[in-house]
Amino acid sequence: MPKQDLANGQPYELFGADSGDRLCWGKVINMEPYNSLTYSFAVKPFPNIESEVHWVLDEIEGGTRITMRHVGMESAGAESFGLTMAFDKGWDEHFAKMRDI
């Protein structure tokens, strides 16, 4: 898959390394390099539900603090609890991988 440079207003897509399937997509809402990133987020199992992911990086003694908020799942109605639990599990896995780097 081609590399995508993130910029405000630009769409993005993420694909599975093994399958090549489009897994999630959206649009960059706001990006301030080295400080913050906000983007819309849709994922393959729930393609019609769009939420937002907000990342903030803060320099702290000895490293960087990462704050991430994933908001907007309430638009899923009755499915919102299951969707939130699925995303929570997925984000936990991603943060664990980042810790291992």
Q: Return mean pLDDT, the chain.
A: 86
What is the average pLDDT across 43-71?
90
- Residues 7-51: tens digit of each pLDDT: 899 999 989 888 889 989 999 999 999 999 999 999 887 778 889
Q: Which of 51, 50, 9, 13 is nearest to 30 (CA)?
A: 9
* Domain spans of the chain, in order of start: 11-100
> Beta-carbon neighbour count of residue 60 at 10 Å?
8
Specify the pLDDT at position 2: 58
pTM of the model: 0.80
Whether the CB-CB separation of 68 and 54 falls below 8 Å is answered with yes
27-31, 41-45, 80-84, 86-90: least confidently modelled range = 80-84
